[in-house]
Amino acid sequence: MDTNDKPISELMTRTVCEVPTDWSAAQILEQMQAMSVSSVLVVEDRLTLGIITERDVVRNLHRKGGLKSLSCTDLMQAPVLTVEQTEKCLDVYHLMDGRRIRHIAVTDGDGLLVGIVSEGDILRDFGVEHYMRFKDVGGAMSTDVVLLPESASVGEAVALMDERRQSCVFAVDAQRRPLGVLSERDIVRLCHEHDDPQGLTLGATMKGPVRTTHRDALLHDVVKSMDEAHIRRLAVVDNEGGVCGVLTHHEVVHGLEGQYVSYLKDMLHEQEKALEGRQVAVSEKRLLENILRSAVGTAVITTALDGRIDYFSPSLLAMPKLQALAARGSDVFEILATLGWPDSRAVLSVEALANGRLHTQLLAWLINGQAGHAELQISLLVNDKNQPQGFLLLAR
């Protein structure tokens, strides 16, 4: 997969599910269920006015209750983030990741809709070399998984899915063994079938049995089996059969962030060659800082092997909750503990991050009733001889 030069037009889906602005929410729910699609675009005269995704259905159900009385404009997000069909795949994915969205509309040079791209479209283009970055499921899965007893209500499940931006909830027994799953697509179905399904129980609405995989399974084999079975998520279980994580398209595709850093380095190299011709001296860190600043909501922090912070980009100062990391010489482990991650030493180690492994950590907090979150992607810093020098943290 050569995402650096491939245009997004080669991956996008050209058949788009479009709805007009005068449709009701009930009509849209029926359309999404009938066509088994995760998103619809609100379009007039090929101009994209809004987008409605399964996540929007979950969010509106949690915050507004029954959806059938709502209109199309009540559900949709607007304005819609779009990219031109000539944009490079890797840049488009990085934009999606930075905005925490899973779909993006694609237009021609005149701004007219020509397609849509999702994380699944990107995933299907991956070659074996991508999976070798992780090798096993444990290296790619997310440990931020929502577990509830089957007696819990759909309302409880929807609230957690909305607040933690999760695509599913697993119903488990007392030993955390999976009994069933309720996904965003199931929520669309329930909203179509019921005026307000929040009072129903997980036991009455979940699907089972749950497809599972072990954290030590080979990632490439597991993703291949997901594609063949046309499923988007698996529960990851430990040796006792208890759920310890979740593997979805998002976790697998998220590994592209490491490739994006390599892409940035290639850009830096080209910049440096051009600057040398003009005898202008610009440091690699400063160039990287400016490129990252242009990537929405991304900051970079580097530390020595002992965890002492030795560099941070100015964009970190725009992230109030993470400003404590903007302190050269400070102990990153102590700061991360105050941010709700007390065992960060287990991850920020040469052993845990060897062989190009990446770790993604979600930080969440509640201040004055307002929920907030940030995501850290952590990797090992190495020199030209591949010797460990410290740690790199990308913050969003």
pLDDT tens-digit map of 185-195? 999 999 999 99
Query: Which percentage of the chain shows pLDDT scores above 90?
Result: 40
**pLDDT for the residue 321:** 81
pLDDT at 294 over 50: no
**pLDDT for the residue 368:** 59
pLDDT at 207 over 60: yes
Quick one: average pLDDT of 139-156? 93
pLDDT at 280 over 60: no
Spatial contact of 328 and 227, defined as CB atoms under 8 Å apart: no
Dist CA 284 CA 281 (whole Å):
10
**pLDDT for the residue 281:** 36
- Could you tell me whether strands 299-304 and 147-148 are parallel, antiparallel, or unpaired per DSSP bridges? unpaired
pLDDT tens-digit map of 96-128? 877 778 889 999 888 888 999 988 887 777 654
Sketch out the chain's domains with CATH numbers: 8-125 (3.10.580.10), 129-253 (3.10.580.10), 282-395 (3.30.450.20)
**Alpha-carbon distances, residue 18 vs 40, 57, 96 (angstroms):** 6, 16, 21
What is the model's pTM?
0.62
Task: Residue 80: name the closest of 69, 96, 60 by CA.
Answer: 96
Quick one: average pLDDT of 325-333? 88
**pLDDT for the residue 394:** 86
Dist CA 137 CA 234 (whole Å):
10
Dist CA 376 CA 46 (whole Å):
38
pLDDT at 289 over 80: no
HEC profile for 346-390?
A: HCCCCCCCHHHCCEEEEEEEEECCEEEEEEEEEEEEECCCCCEEE
**pLDDT for the residue 261:** 46
Quick one: average pLDDT of 273-290? 47
Dist CA 91 CA 244 (whole Å):
32
